[in-house]
């Protein structure tokens, strides 16, 4: 098959914000301050369930520099923040004496300095009436929430499909709690001026924080400004408005002083979410040729006692492959755990591990190549919607990725390949990532000096949004990169969607395109009746933009500069707004497609020590139109590092008696380092997507999905041992 090259919006340019970051001049939330700013420190519960029986704060209140100690006894009523399209806000803090999880905030101490606040917080004494916590998914006392988000799917007759199957796979897979752990500690700085509020916050969605604060404190959104021009990573942890944000704002209102709060690393483990643990049961049935007759996927994951969090683990199995009889369903068990949240590739990371491991097991049971089993069950159309995909090059991902990896050299017999004393294994996985695109708004202005200011309130968590939106604006307006100023991370700017779900590039990019086209139309409207303009009477489709000029397509010699039009008509600038709201699939007759990928991994296993080393990786990705090959490749590699961690290292360990997280620090919570990450080749295939006018798909999540399954499948090929529980540890291989 001939594969058309993916068009790039210019070369893989360096990040436009790179110089600020490497010189330390990029302002992160913790870098901001106000005159007379106070500092806050948190007091956390040391039991997982029960009530506060006694609370002694006198010593803390009398400590040097202390301005206030706020507990449930003196805190005002706080409303629960408004629902969003994908989750509810966590319950507000300090509203009663109940303890729902270890590490829950039970007091906030405000003092003149950070050191004084921290020291005083240690003086707060708490007496608890303890209760036995719910900590395990299989605890019969736990409330079970069924189909919590309406994402369960059914088609065909599963019982009949199973009865007709020649070969079946029936297995249970488990994944642990994991913690997002961005390097940058989350920080909030809040300052009230009457009923007006300014907040600097580590957030992936400034407008979401604004709405949550307005709802919680009962003030108009118009009086709240949230700023997050730079965020030190998030991986989903910064999508929700967490209790520490509310407490910072409350502390500022109580003391009538600006207040800053910076979380500690242990507080990051209990206060800003985590990936939920899962137990997943999969039953696959197939004919003798390996074609699926049934796919049954049931997942149970953990949820906090009083939270509602979107984590459909099994849902995407319904459309990943062609199968006539499908049943996928999710349940949640309410436990005394910190509130979970999205973590890079939410739900999909866990669900894909189970599905792609089960497919690998099916391939061996049928006796066909694991790559071939996926090709035989390829979904040409979206199976649930029965509509053609807006784009899909997964078959090309399989074929090109396998060719680049050298998959054909694989000896199919487990344990048959060696390199000296090391067992060698090849594994692979397919990835079909869900589609998501938030509604966004953008504004574009072209100024008298020929430069442009394009802006939106969305933020950049290190994914390269500043860069690709600058590139896109420059191409659409026909300007150089250094002539574009792109503004982000400020709710005074037009509404921006959340930076998550791999959807912002499409959502914001579509809005930027509309704004840039709108400002070009404004220039054409300005010269519409100008007899001296070569553009007189032109419509939008009659011109192109290049080198600061609008150029007639029918006669490129006839053109006029932006600066010339503005000067002629006595204008300082022209401005236009644009927005994006994706259509319903039924309206356009196609199913919106997220990114697709094929992941290939080579591992080495020491059979005596049980050590696993990832030796080589290839990822072939269908990301639609790639706006910047360098930053897109970086995103895939970064996600892959997280996938290696998921496969081999990462696990948030909770003491089964006390509910305390026992490895809540970077010394004990293991993440991949340079020595764990091998050579990784990334290739992009496919064509521009048809569901948005700029043809893009996000790549922030796709890099993580499938890596755990590819590594686990490679470990089986190397050793003959099937590992169904992550992370893969040496005791499972000895």
Q: Give yes or no: residues 599 and 691 share one domain.
A: yes
CA atoms of 171 and 284, how far apart (whole Å): 9
Six-digit token pair at 703?
Answer: 């890099």
In angstroms, rounded to a whole number, what is the distance separating the alpha carbons of residues 251 and 245?
10
Do 88 and 116 reside in the same domain of the chain? Answer: yes
Is the pLDDT at 461 greater than 70? The verdict is: yes
Residues 183-196 pLDDT 10s: 999 999 999 999 99
For residue 44, the domain's CATH number is 3.90.1170.50
Question: 610 and 703: one domain?
Answer: yes
Same domain flag for 653 and 511: no
Q: Tell me which DSSP letter residue 30 carries.
A: G
Residue of 178, 602, 687, 701 with catalytic role? 701
569/619 same-domain check? no
* C-beta of residue 55 within 8 angstroms of C-beta of residue 124: yes
Reference 465, options 231, 185, 182, 705; nearest CA is 231
**CB-based burial label for 178 (10 Å; 0-12, 13-18, 19+):** buried
Domain boundary among 529, 559, 581: 581
535 and 652 together in one domain: no
Q: What is the pLDDT of residue 11?
A: 67
Last residue in a domain, options 271, 296, 320? 271
CB 321 within 8 A of CB 378: yes
Instruction: Give the span between the Cα atoms of 318 and 158, in whole angstroms.
Output: 12
For residue 7, what pLDDT band results from cuts at 50, 70 and 90?
Answer: very low
Is it true that the peptide bond before 727 is cis, omega within 30 degrees of 0? yes
Beta bridge partners of 284: 169, 295
Rounded Cα distance between 695 and 390, Å, is 10
**Residues 559 and 594 grouped into a single domain:** no
Return the CATH number at 442: 3.30.365.10
Same domain? For 462 and 478 the reply is yes
pLDDT in tens, 395-435: 999 999 999 999 999 999 999 999 999 999 999 999 999 99
List the structure tokens of 469. Answer: 């939106």
Residue 712 lies in a domain: yes
Please say if the pLDDT value at position 90 is more than 80: yes
Phi-psi group of 639: left, alpha or beta (phi > 0 → left; psi -120 to 50 → alpha; rest → beta): alpha
Indicate whether 455 and 599 sit together in one domain. no
> Is residue 317 one of the residues assigned to a domain?
no
Cross-strand pairs, 487: 455
Question: Is residue 160 domain-resident?
Answer: no
User: Helix axis angle, 348-366 relative to 629-648, nearest 10°?
Assistant: 70
Do 366 and 478 belong to one domain?
no
Averaged pLDDT for residues 634-656: 97
CA atoms within 13 A on the CB side of 459: 34
Per-residue model confidence as pLDDT tens digits over 142-201: 999 998 778 899 999 999 999 999 999 999 999 999 999 999 999 999 999 999 999 999
Residue 255 falls inside a structural domain: yes
pLDDT tens digits for 574-601?
999 999 988 888 889 999 999 999 999 9
Task: Quote the domain boundaries for residue 457.
Answer: 438-581
- What pLDDT score was predicted for residue 347? 95
The answer on 257 and 113 residing in a single domain is yes
- Give residue for tokens 């307005």: 214
The answer to whether the Cα torsion of 636, 637, 642, 646 is positive or negative is positive
| Count of domains observed in the chain | 3
126 neighbors 54 (Cβ within 8 angstroms): yes
Share of the chain above pLDDT 90, in %: 94
Contact 209, 226 (CB under 8 A): yes
Residue 544 and residue 624 in one domain: no
- Is 7 domain-assigned? no
Q: What is the pLDDT of residues 349-381, one digit of tens each?
A: 999 999 999 999 999 999 999 999 999 999 999
Domain membership flag for residue 404: yes
Model confidence at 9: pLDDT above 70: no
Q: Average of pLDDT values for 506-519?
A: 97
Is 287 a domain residue? no
- φ, ψ of residue 286 to 5 degrees: the values are -150, 160
- 602 given a catalytic annotation: no
d(CA 530, CA 527): 5
458 and 496 in contact (C-beta within 8 Å)? yes
CB 189 within 8 A of CB 37: yes
Residue 243 placed within a domain? yes
Q: Does residue 473 carry a pLDDT above 50?
A: yes
CA distance 646 to 719: 20
Average of per-residue pLDDT values in the chain: 95
Token code pair at residue 346: 């939410």
Pair of tokens at residue 643 = 């996938």
């Amino acid at each position: 098959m001939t594969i058309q090259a993916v068009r790039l919006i210019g070369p893989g340019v360096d990040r436009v914000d790179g110089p600020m970051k490497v010189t330390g001049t990029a302002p992160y939330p913790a870098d901001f301050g106000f005159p007379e700013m106070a500092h806050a420190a948190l007091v956390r519960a040391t039991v997982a369930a029960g009530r506060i029986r006694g609370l002694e704060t006198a010593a803390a209140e009398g400590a040097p520099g202390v301005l206030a100690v706020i507990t449930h006894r003196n805190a005002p009523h706080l409303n629960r923040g408004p629902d969003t399209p994908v989750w509810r806000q966590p319950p507000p803090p300090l509203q009663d004496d109940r303890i729902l999880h270890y590490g829950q905030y039970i007091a906030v101490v405000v003092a003149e300095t950070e050191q004084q606040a921290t020291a005083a917080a240690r003086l707060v004494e708490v007496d608890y009436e303890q209760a036995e916590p719910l900590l395990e998914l299989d605890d019969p006392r736990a409330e079970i929430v069924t189909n919590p988000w309406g994402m369960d799917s059914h088609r065909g007759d599963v019982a009949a499909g199973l009865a007709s199957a020649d070969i079946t796979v029936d297995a249970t897979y488990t994944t642990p709690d994991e913690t997002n752990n961005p390097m940058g500690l989350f920080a909030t700085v809040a300052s009230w001026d009457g009923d007006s509020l300014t907040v600097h916050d580590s957030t992936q969605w400034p407008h979401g924080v604004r709405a949550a604060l307005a709802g919680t404190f009962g003030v108009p959104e118009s009086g709240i400004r949230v700023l997050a021009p730079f965020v030190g990573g998030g991986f989903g942890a910064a999508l929700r408005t967490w209790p520490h944000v509310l407490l910072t704002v409350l502390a500022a209102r109580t003391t009538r002083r600006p207040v800053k709060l910076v979380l500690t690393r242990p507080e990051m483990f209990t206060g800003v979410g985590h990936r939920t643990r899962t137990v997943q049961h999969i039953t696959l049935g197939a004919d003798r040729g390996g074609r699926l007759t049934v796919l049954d996927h049931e997942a149970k994951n953990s949820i906090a006692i009083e939270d509602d969090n979107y984590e459909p683990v099994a849902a995407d199995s319904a459309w990943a492959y062609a199968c006539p009889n499908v049943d996928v369903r999710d349940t949640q068990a309410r436990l005394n755990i910190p509130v979970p949240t999205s973590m890079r590739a939410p739900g999909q990371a866990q669900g894909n591990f189970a599905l792609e491991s089960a497919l690998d097991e099916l391939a061996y049971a049928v006796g066909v190549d694991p790559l071939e089993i996926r090709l035989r069950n390829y979904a040409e159309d979206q199976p649930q919607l029965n509509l053609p995909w807006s784009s899909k090059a997964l078959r090309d991902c399989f074929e090109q990725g396998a060719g680049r990896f050298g998959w054909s050299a694989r000896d199919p017999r487990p344990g048959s390949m060696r390199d000296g004393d090391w067992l060698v294994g090849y594994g692979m996985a397919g990835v079909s990532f869900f589609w998501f695109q938030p509604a966004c708004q953008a504004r574009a202005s072209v100024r008298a000096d020929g430069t442009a200011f394009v802006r939106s309130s969305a933020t950049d968590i290190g994914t390269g949004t500043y860069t690709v939106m600058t590139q896109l604006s420059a191409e659409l307006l026909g300007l150089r990169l250094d002539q574009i100023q792109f503004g982000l991370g400020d709710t005074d700017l037009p509404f921006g969607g959340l930076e998550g779900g791999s959807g912002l590039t499409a959502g914001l990019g579509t809005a930027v395109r509309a704004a840039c086209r709108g400002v070009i139309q404004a220039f054409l409207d300005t010269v519409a009746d100008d007899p001296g303009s070569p553009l007189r009477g032109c419509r939008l489709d009659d011109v192109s933009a290049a080198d600061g000029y609008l150029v007639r397509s029918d006669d490129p010699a006839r053109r006029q500069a932006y600066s010339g039009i503005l000067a002629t008509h006595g204008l300082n600038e022209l401005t236009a707004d644009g927005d994006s709201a994706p259509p319903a699939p039924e309206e356009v007759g196609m199913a919106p497609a997220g990114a697709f990928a094929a992941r290939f991994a080579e591992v080495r296993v020491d059979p005596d020590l049980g050590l696993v080393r990832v030796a080589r990786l290839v990822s072939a990705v269908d990301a639609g139109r790639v706006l910047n090959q360098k930053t897109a490749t970086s995103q895939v590699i970064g996600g892959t590092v997280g996938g290696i961690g998921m496969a081999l290292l990462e696990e948030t360990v909770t003491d089964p008696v006390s509910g305390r997280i026992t490895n809540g620090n970077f010394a004990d919570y293991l993440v991949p380092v340079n020595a764990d990450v091998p050579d990784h080749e990334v290739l992009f295939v496919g064509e521009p997507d048809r569901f948005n006018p700029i043809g893009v798909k996000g790549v922030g999540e796709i890099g993580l999905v499938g890596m755990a399954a590819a590594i686990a499948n490679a470990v089986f090929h190397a050793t003959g041992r099937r590992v169904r529980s992550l992370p893969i540890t040496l005791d499972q291989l000895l």
